[in-house]
Amino acid sequence: MNIWKLKEFFDEKIAHMPPSDETEELDTPHVFLKFALSSDPDCSDPIIGHFEMANRGIKYDGYYLNEDEKEFHVFSLIYFEDLDCLETEIRRAFNEAESGAIRFAETAMKGKSNITTDSEVGEHVQELIDCLSNGYSIIFDFYSNVALPSQSIPTSIIVGKMECKVDIHDANSIYERIKEDETGSLIIELKKQYGEPLTALRVARNESFDVYMTAISGPLLSRIYDDHKNRLMDGNVRAYLKRTQKTNKKISETLHDAPQDFIALNNGLAAVASMEGSEIVHLGDGVYLINALDKMQIVNGGQTTVTIYEIYRDGIDLSEVMVPVKLTVLKRQNEEASLVTNIAISANTQTAIAKSDLASNRPFYKSLEALSLHTPCYRTAAHSPDEAYYWFFERSNGLYNTRKRIIWNYSNKFTRLYPEKKKFSKKILAKAIMAYAVQPDIVCQGNEKCFQVFNDRIEKNQVMPDSRYYRNVIGALIIWREADKIIARSKLPIKAAVLPYTISYICEKVKGLLDLERIFEEQTIDQPLKTIIDGVSRMISSYFISVQEEFPNTLMYGRKKECWETVKNLHFPVTTCGLQLGTKPIDFFPQNPALTFIQDSGNLNKVSLWESLLEWNENAHVFSKTDVDRIRNDIIIGIRVQTRILMDKDRKFAINCFIKAVQNGYFYR
């Protein structure tokens, strides 16, 4: 497609983007960048704008963090109003963008920044410094509304001693990514299109899925990847690292030197597909012929797949290469998104997994997810059913896009019911609630640390959300997001600290009585609260600027208890500004009544309670045989033998068993 047709396509898509305060404040090139980023499923909460320090050679157009992969993405925009530009002009623009982005990274790599954090660039440099200290890599993303000469652009750049990956997103690749998303379900026609159905052995089955073992030839895998590229890898948790990476280098050597041994030396792929739309024929004796796979995803083996493809593209004969495949075919459509995410995480245990990922399957987050899918909000006060929509709690990273793709097949109804701007993650949840709970110093410690503190409190009190709790959560999130917009519009420096401190200051002054229920109902905050947020944020920003000489690293200072002790004693007339307050403080960490009950020794040490629980489990099947034996031998007998006093390890086990039973329907009163 020629560049002018691409422009028409982009203009039409941009015209139909949902309106937002951020988009209204961006110039035309950066609206294009926001649009381009929206087609990237991994890009969450990007910072977009024109950021420059000419005297230092720094220039870039924003960034985002992929915290699960520990990647700091710096993006640069190469945008032309005149699309008839020469290739020499494009190269010059790319070189300038590359230089500005590298200077940004180099500044952070020096460690302690001598750029004060009272500028946006300074804030971003400090965030990159913090990320580098936590083991993040840097990826340079170049976006353009024209075709970039990708064949002459390096795939990586050495900055300092770090090799930084380069990704190109020009007009053609952005178009292809969007069109792929719009084409609907991905069906791999192994027999009709490629003439190579797979013979497989079914090794397991249950009501949720069947599991097959098979093998695919190197040329067939390469052709499938060449045809479908990233759509085949949406469920994979890692981007391609590079051919010279240690594991991929070994794969390349095997493909060159001993292709016939590849199947024995490589662990192969883990893939998933949907039963609906797949064509799998039983040949007898547990052997099946796989003719077509619907919604196929490679969830583990991305490095293997792309390395094979690149070797194939180099013209190397791969006819002797066979790749082992474990294929899970999912039967329950309403569970597919969660299963894909869980399989992807479990199949990639060699990757460092964040603590926030490990918590995904805890009862609190599962319950919150269920509430998010079934608690409607309304676009008007009339509460008309056709105006209902839902906030989407992304319990596992990538779940929103997986559900959109696999269950809803890219239906517009999905985005109407679950608008992407109403999606929220565990980390944003933790920051919003910890700010409301007047602990801005914890929020300033970073996403992962903030989540750890939040999750520890949820676990300690065995918090289980109900409908009222969920509505309060959304109210707190709305305050967080509205405050974020207000502070961004004011262009206040040090926003990463000013935002949580502003919310905590207000909540401290009103003793946690903000009416979150009303905010949920109206899906916004009223003008008096907006005015207070604006005033308080300016006051706090001014305070941080005033102590820059003593505390040049504002974010580090914001992590200290003494910082909060000082800020909360600043004066702003919060309670006299017409706020509508609730009647009862919101506690986001209430102790579970079941925990209170079982921590009472009089209840914990009742033999009759544990006998009743075992009787209930005979039908519920919640506990494993090992758990049942331990309850019978260590808890019940232990209570009798030890005169109703349990040892600490048995007490902890007993409490956990009881809470698990209650969460699964055991009624204890």
In tens, the pLDDT along 62-88 reads: 999 877 668 899 999 999 998 888 889
Mean pLDDT, the chain, integer: 86
Q: Give the whole-angstrom CA distance, residue 340 versus residue 362.
A: 17
Just give the CATH number of 3-178: 3.40.91
State yes or no: pLDDT of 185 exceeds 70: no
Beta carbons within 10 angstroms of residue 378's beta carbon = 16
As to burial, measured by CB atoms within 10 angstroms (0-12 exposed, 13-18 middle, 19+ buried), residue 200 is: buried
Q: Give the whole-angstrom CA distance, residue 131 versus residue 202.
A: 45
State yes or no: pLDDT of 238 exceeds 60: no
Domain ranges of the chain: 3-178, 183-353, 356-576, 593-663
Structure tokens, 633: 């031998």
Q: Which residues contact 124 (CB under 8 A, 6 or more apart)?
A: 47, 51, 63, 104
State yes or no: pLDDT of 548 exceeds 70: yes
Return the pLDDT at 351: 47
Q: Give the whole-angstrom CA distance, residue 123 versus residue 169.
A: 26
Structure tokens, 285: 């004796």
Three-class DSSP category at 172: helix
Q: CA 656 → CA 424, 629, 659, distances in Å?
A: 29, 15, 5
Three-class DSSP category at 571: coil
Summarised one tens digit per residue, pLDDT across range 498-522 is 999 999 999 999 999 999 999 999 9
Total-model pTM:
0.64
Least confident among 24-33, 66-75, 442-451, 608-617? 66-75
Q: Which residues contact 440 (CB under 8 A, 6 or more apart)?
A: 434, 497, 500, 501, 503, 504, 558, 564, 567
